[in-house]
């Protein structure tokens, strides 16, 4: 593969031109950080570009939304991370377009050229083309989303106290979660725990029994990626917590006041939380013929976006179609981490030997989901279990996966406190939720 060295021009985001191939990484998620960890810093000049200056541990966003954790406990400064690995250049900006023919990237802060490009931009919420739902529902893909949801929950509880109309009050107290995957299940369980342990005491001037939690799933069972036994255990546990569950149901409409389900059922609610799906998120400039269903980019067995042998795609936005995985690998953090490590080692090897290593092989680390206090399901290979031990397993694995010792310590202390007190003090409306297209809210 012939490489054109970076030109000595005045752009390149004020990154110095040196006699090393430049690797530009777009995205500071799990894949991007894994790549930085394993890439040989003596062989390459590394530039990381992200629209945020922090990495988000997305599996715990729902705990920020429900007041169990502060946002800074699951966010880690990217500059602090890259500092550990030497002379790596971080730039805060949005990548707008990729010029694959000229090895050039256009961003909101200027242009930069590259010898190797890694796109690790992750995913975004998929509303399946329903603009009305997109305008009125709340998603949970980022820290700002989680803070918006936290404010919305608390604001509507406060509004419910003031509301004299029975139907309008119940709509404020009705939380509809769309999507029965891990995020939807975990959020439903967390809200059920809040209702049982916290809201009943703190909102004594409300009849908290009127607070409803409804989980809507389009398939015939929850946690479809797990085995049927775990799905059944999750269903039973949520029902015991008082969660209403609608299976084989698709949301057709939501105008900010009323949800219409495919079968014609109607639910009055001011709170629809959308966790039903994701799309690959990538900059402009990708050849249309390389885009597959789900807006993911087609890659070969070496994570390369062919025919461009110097462009690699990793994480949620990558789709490596295999005989046993015709829709690509699951869009989960372990896949992004493994792809990041693989591509880093591929580049390290190629630099000397001009030969790529063995094809990428995904190692399924299993799946797990917490359902509520002392309740979880875990599937790791042939090992499948549930209950309190599964819950502590979930806690340990997530705790050790968080970036940064300080963050792990804060999360551990928060979990320890809430376990023994059934409470936290994080239910603060610091930034009121505002959506001009919706009715209600404290403003």
Sign of the alpha-carbon torsion through 177, 188, 149, 74: negative
186 assigned to active site:
yes
Biggest CA–CA distance in the chain, Å, is: 75
Which helix (H) or strand (E) element contains residue 312?
Answer: strand 311-313
Which residues are CB-contacts of 44 (< 8 A; sequence separation ≥ 6)?
Answer: 20, 21, 22, 23, 116, 347, 351
Among 124, 428, 127, 423, smallest CA distance to 253 is for 127
Name the DSSP class of 354.
S
B/e letters for 63-91, b = 16+ CB within 10 Å, e = fewer, are bbbbbbbbbebbbbbbeebbeeeeebbbb
Rg (CA), the chain: 23
Name the DSSP class of 381.
T
Return the number of other C-beta atoms located less than 10 Å from residue 381's C-beta.
8
What whole-number distance in Å separates Cα of residue 400 and Cα of residue 397?
A: 5
Catalytic residue among 115, 186, 217, 341: 186
Residue holding tokens 């239910």?
427
What backbone phi and psi angles, to 5 degrees, belong to 35?
-60, -45
Concatenating the DSSP letter of every residue in 51-66 gives SSSEEE-GGGHHHHHT
Residue holding tokens 């090393």?
20
Which residues are CB-contacts of 40 (< 8 A; sequence separation ≥ 6)?
Answer: 344, 347, 348, 351
What whole-number distance in Å separates Cα of residue 23 and Cα of residue 243?
A: 48
Measure the CA dihedral 26/273/135/174, to 10°: -170
Number of helical (H) and strand (E) elements in the chain, helices listed first: 12, 26
- What positions carry a catalytic annotation? 186
């Amino acid at each position: 593969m012939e490489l054109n060295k970076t030109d000595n021009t005045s752009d390149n985001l004020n990154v110095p031109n040196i006699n090393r191939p430049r690797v530009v990484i777009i995205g500071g998620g799990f894949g991007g950080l894994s790549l930085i960890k394993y890439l040989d810093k003596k062989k390459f000049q590394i530039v990381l570009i992200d629209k945020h200056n922090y990495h988000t541990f997305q599996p715990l966003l729902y705990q920020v939304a429900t007041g169990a954790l502060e946002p800074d406990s699951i966010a880690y400064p990217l500059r602090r991370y890259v500092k550990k690995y030497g002379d790596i250049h971080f730039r805060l900006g949005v990548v707008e377009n990729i010029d694959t023919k000229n090895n050039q990237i256009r961003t909101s802060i200027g242009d930069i050229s590259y010898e190797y490009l890694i796109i690790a931009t992750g995913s975004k919420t998929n509303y399946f083309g329903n603009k009305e739902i997109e305008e009125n529902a709340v998603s949970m893909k980022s820290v700002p989303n989680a803070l918006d949801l936290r404010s919305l929950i608390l604001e509507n509880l406060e509004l419910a106290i003031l509301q004299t109309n029975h139907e309008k009050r119940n709509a404020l107290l009705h939380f509809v979660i769309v999507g029965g995957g891990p995020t939807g299940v975990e959020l439903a369980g967390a809200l059920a725990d809040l209702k049982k342990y916290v809201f009943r005491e703190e909102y004594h001037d409300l009849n908290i029994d009127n607070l409803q939690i409804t989980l809507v799933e389009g398939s015939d069972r929850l946690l479809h990626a797990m085995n049927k036994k775990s799905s059944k255990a999750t269903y039973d546990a949520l029902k015991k917590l008082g969660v209403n569950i609608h299976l084989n149901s698709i949301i057709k409409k939501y105008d900010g006041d009323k949800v219409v389900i495919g079968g014609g059922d109607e639910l009055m609610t001011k709170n629809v939380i959308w966790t039903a799906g994701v799309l690959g998120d990538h900059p402009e400039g990708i050849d249309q013929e390389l885009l597959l269903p789900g807006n993911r980019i087609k890659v070969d067995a070496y994570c390369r976006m062919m025919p461009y042998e110097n462009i690699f795609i990793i994480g949620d936005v990558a789709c490596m179609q295999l005989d046993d995985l015709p829709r690509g690998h699951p869009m989960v953090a372990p896949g992004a981490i493994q792809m990041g490590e693989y591509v880093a080692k591929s580049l390290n090897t190629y630099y000397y030997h001009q030969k790529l290593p063995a094809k990428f092989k995904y190692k399924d680390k299993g799946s797990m989901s917490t359902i509520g206090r002392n309740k979880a399901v875990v599937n790791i290979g042939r090992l499948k279990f549930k209950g309190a031990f599964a819950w502590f397993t979930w806690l340990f694995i997530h705790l050790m996966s968080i970036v940064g010792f300080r963050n792990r310590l804060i999360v551990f202390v928060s979990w320890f406190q809430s376990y023994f007190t059934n409470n936290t003090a994080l239910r603060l409306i610091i930034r009121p939720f505002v959506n001009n297209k919706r009715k209600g809210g404290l403003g």
